Amino acid sequence: MDHKSTEKLELNKILESCSAYAVTEGGKRFVHTLTPVGDMGEVRARLTSTAESDKLLFRYGLSAISYFPDMTDAIKRAEKGSSLSCAELLDINSLLISARTAYEEISGVDDGKIVLMKRAAARLLFDKRLEDDIADKILSPEQVSDYASDALFSIRSKIRSLNEKIRSTLAEYASGKDAQYLRDSLVTIRGDRYVIPVKAEYKNKVKGLVHDRSQSGATFFIEPEYILNLNNELIALTVDEKAEVERILKELSSRVGGLAKNLLTDEEVLAEIDGCFARAQYAYAQKAVCPHINKRGYVKIVKGRHPLIDGKKVVPVSVELGKDYNFLLLSGANTGGKTVTLKMIGLFCLMAECGLFIPAAEDTEICAFGKVFCDVGDSQSIEDSLSTFSSHITNVISICKEADGDSLVLIDELGGGTDPDEGQAIARAVCEHLISLGCRGLITTHFTTFKESVYDMSGIENASMEFDSDTLRPLYSIKIGLPGASNALAISRRLGMDNEILKRAESYLSEGGRAFENIVRLAEDSRLEAARKLAHAEELERDYNKRLAAVEEAEKTIIKEREKLGASARAESRRIINERTARAEELLEEIEEIFSKEELSQADLIKARTLKNKLADEAYDGENYSPAVADFTDATLQNINKGAEVFIKTLQTRGIVSSVNGKNGEAEICVGSLKTHVKISDLQLIRPRPAKPGGKKEEKKIRVVRSFSPAAPVLELNVIGLTVPEALAEVDNFLDKAVTDNLEQVKIIHGVGTGKLRTAIGAHLKRCRHVDGFRAGKYGEGEIGVTIVTLK
């Protein structure tokens, strides 16, 4: 991979940011030393390791690698037989703990899709006994535990006992008759031996060994002769203690040396795991996704965000190449995002080849290019006496020599920095050469002639960064198929350039260049306006669909309410009929009991008449009863008013008019607690039939019958000879009666004929809420001339 190109694409900054998530120095080095690879199998393995690490960390909640310092030198010294210090042994123990913890956590995850990370963890080796021994025997970086060995425990016990004995002896001396010789009663140590501070004038009064004197010379530190042997014994025990500690450290170091190769392997494996975890954490922080990888030279970036731009400021960009065209010629206004897009494409390819996820949306696809070349920015070299153009062309020459069909080429402002005519000629020639090599790439330009020439070239397509000519602001969106206008004059005007200068600049533009730029600008403005109108139309469509869904939901609610009211009304009717029938039969039994007597008294006749009047209240005259029937009149804009009661034909229910909109030919209807807009043509005005005129109220005639038991239920209905509307009305009445009679199955006879009546009845039954199912008659039932209906 070209080193200069990776630097220009700033891969090193990405790796630096990613390495900050690593815990160990080895993990940081692992990330830092990642290099892009063109082998698709290796790229997929790296990305899979990152994906598995992401799952381990954020789905299964594994902890990061436990920290341990770099112990390579210490391990190699232990392998050669050197003794390690307490601090080094504790660091070795941190390595052992980290290896064991990583192995246990990763291998303990029950997920068959975690393969590569489990394979890496399986390479970890550790020694739990050595880990426990170091933890038990080494208390701190400077101290070995008393219980590290029996000999050390015995030696230190004797040392403590002897120290106590020496101190108590010296304390008795300091408080005895010779206390007058001492500077103070404190016991101190000089040269690992206990001494007492004696005044200079009394130094000959105290028998012993002089070890030191104070800077003023007023105090001598003397070791009394009666503790000389005790001090000698203490020093001997201290020497024994040191030897035992060195023996313990030597033993532990020897065991570390025996595991040297395993521990060095552990360091490498843990660095790799730590690096993979760092890649996963970086991806999580960047909200990145795992891209699809191919080797076809196809690149598709969906809403890509350059990771080095502030996430609050970056604008996602989508771009595609390598399918219908191998190269894009990207043009447009300055500061429009052309260079950022160019660098983003190259950087994403390098990141994927390093095993890093891409800060983009799902469905992003990246090619594992063998080589990535990039020339971008001012590469003027003072040391090599190269101008910007010379340095640029030097890089382009190198790219043309080294590029092949497995290369991605990114060149910013190809042919820039020199005479425009010669520059665009070079740009076109280089572009044709790169296309002939079969490589993929993106080139940015401001050359008008170069943009025009693309229409005559194969394998390359014009593209532009969108620019709002009204606000003179870039939109950071790529449109394929049209070149972009540079808008240099417009941007200069927005930045404050004098109008006289701008007018003079416009006069110097060539007619062809001015015409092409105007055409491009007008085409871009038209396309943006069309895009805005399309977005507005889509918004209106979404709003319409939302409102339509609300109306349909309201309609369903009204239908459910109507069904509920109908069922309640039928139940109430059945209850009232049953109650009145039972009461009438009771009254008839009482009348029969009266007339069963052989002789009737005046009181019996009065009682019978009273019962007859009560019976008249419970019954009605079926011949003379005439219920008030509503009169339905089609509603029009002239006869419908607010507050009128109407029948909604589409919903088959009643409502009250709350407002009328004559312009739209609609009315707002209140149906219970719901409101709905209905066309006036779908409404009928309800006017109750007026009562018959007359002065005197007609007296109801009461017919007393013997029994009020209901008639036998009707099991079939014959509608042969009726029209479709007449037949459907009969079917509704028949089904209501069948439901009231608690029938489970009934028969409708409609005949064969043309089949029109049978089809209409079948369609009507599908909408009937009481019907559970229906079928044509079988042999012996009337076959297709009848329909058998099963009720709920």
CA separation, residue 516 to residues 450, 452, 453, 461, 512 (Å):
12, 9, 12, 17, 6
Q: Are 677 and 667 in contact (CB under 8 A)?
A: yes
Q: Is 130 left (phi over 0), alpha (psi -120 to 50) or beta?
A: alpha
The pLDDT score that the predictor gives to residue 586 is 80
Structure tokens at 52: 């598995």
The pLDDT score that the predictor gives to residue 720 is 85
- What lies within 8 Å, CB to CB, of 353 at 6+ separation is 1, 36, 37, 38, 43, 46, 368, 369
The pLDDT score that the predictor gives to residue 542 is 83
- What lies within 8 Å, CB to CB, of 10 at 6+ separation is 308, 343, 347
Q: For 29, how many CA atoms within 13 A lie in the half-sphere containing its CB?
A: 10
**Taking Cα atoms as reference points, which of 322, 297, 287, 275 lies closest to residue 117?**
275
pTM: 0.61
Which amino acid is located at 417 in the chain? G
pLDDT digit string, tens, across residues 497-513: 777 776 776 666 665 55
Distance CA 316, CA 303 (A): 5
The pLDDT score that the predictor gives to residue 712 is 61
The pLDDT score that the predictor gives to residue 372 is 93
Distance CA 51, CA 61 (A): 14
The pLDDT score that the predictor gives to residue 491 is 61
365-367/292-294 β-pairing: parallel
The pLDDT score that the predictor gives to residue 708 is 40
Distance CA 520, CA 462 (A): 12
Residue 406 burial (10 A CB sphere; 0-12, 13-18, 19+): middle
The pLDDT score that the predictor gives to residue 415 is 81
3-state secondary structure of 466: strand
Q: For 366, how many CA atoms within 13 A lie in the half-sphere containing its CB?
A: 34
Distance CA 668, CA 656 (A): 9
- What lies within 8 Å, CB to CB, of 111 at 6+ separation is 55, 60
- What lies within 8 Å, CB to CB, of 425 at 6+ separation is 415
Which amino acid is located at 52 in the chain? E
pLDDT digit string, tens, across residues 139-189: 999 999 999 999 999 999 998 888 888 888 777 666 666 666 676 666 777
Distance CA 527, CA 523 (A): 6
The residue ranges of the chain whose pLDDT is under 50 are 380-385, 620-629, 692, 694-710
